[in-house]
Chain A
């Protein structure tokens, strides 16, 4: 009774306006059985299931990585574009050239002279120490020669 009143109230034919393909319900049980057994076989392959589960996550991770890489490359490009790298290279070359000349002419000579002086001083100190020792111990030079 309630339904009839509602139908009158809505003023619309209550028949189902949707339809299905021909013989759909005749074939559905068979298709369902096939699907169920196909699904069971799929479930028995856990590796496939894991891959299926991971696939969208991996795709998302790859996409994020790709965006990050593109962003980083773009950022580096902008930085390099702003600083004039050619001028910087030239400056470095001049710097090396300047200091390498300086080392050739002055620094190396000074270092060599300094080392030679140190060696001579060390040598003189050692001779003096040996003479003092021989005198203190009263050792004759001929005794040493005989021992040898």
Chain B
């Protein structure tokens, strides 16, 4: 059976029944791996880091899935874990290399320019650089809204912020990106 044969609720029931949790979890991974990967990749930029973070995300999900009560959607729950893991990963790598917060954007820009798995043209590179100049929270909101095309209430659930604050963040992010793109 493919991952589309079961609903999230049914997969959770199979997982919690304990007969074959590997099977149920494997289907969950197949269902959400791409969306989670691209979400993580836009935060950490390099493929190697994104690969590490998605593994950590699924390990955490496996360990805590038994306690998941279904108050939120499985999709937003997994995104919340992925977001936290990606931000923690950035924080750890910043501490390891003694990079101050303000230089993190520059470091990620350098990573992107040297990334073998970046195929963007000149304008896309400049666009991505503009996004990397945003503060962390605005960058997250912009990517989730613009690229992942998530609804504000979904983003609010993942980031634990109000819809009003998210709209303001997105508005500021768009304005800053436009300014950067038209600056030269």
User: Which A residues are within 8 Å of any B CB, using their own CB?
Assistant: 3, 6, 9-21, 25, 28-29, 31-33, 35-36, 39
B33 and A25 form a contact (CB under 8 A): yes
Closest to A32 in B: B58
A11 and B181 form a contact (CB under 8 A): yes
Q: Mind listing 28 A-B residue pairs with CB under 8 Å?
A: A3-B146, A3-B149, A10-B127, A10-B178, A10-B181, A12-B181, A13-B123, A13-B124, A15-B124, A17-B120, A17-B128, A18-B47, A18-B115, A18-B117, A18-B119, A19-B118, A20-B37, A20-B117, A21-B117, A25-B33, A25-B37, A28-B37, A29-B30, A32-B29, A32-B54, A33-B26, A35-B58, A36-B62
Main SS at interface, chain B: helix
A25 and B58 form a contact (CB under 8 A): no
Closest to B149 in A: A3
Minimum Cβ distance to chain B for residue A136 (Å)? 102
Residue of A19, A32, A33 most packed against chain B (CB within 10 A): A32
User: Which B residues are within 8 Å of any A CB, using their own CB?
Assistant: 22, 25-26, 29-30, 33-34, 37-38, 41-42, 47, 54-55, 58-59, 62, 115, 117-121, 123-128, 146-147, 149, 174, 177-178, 181
Closest to A39 in B: B59
Residue of A6, A12, A20, A35 most packed against chain B (CB within 10 A): A12
Minimum Cβ distance to chain A for residue B89 (Å)? 15
Contacting residues, chain B, for A33 (C-beta < 8 A) = 22, 25-26, 29
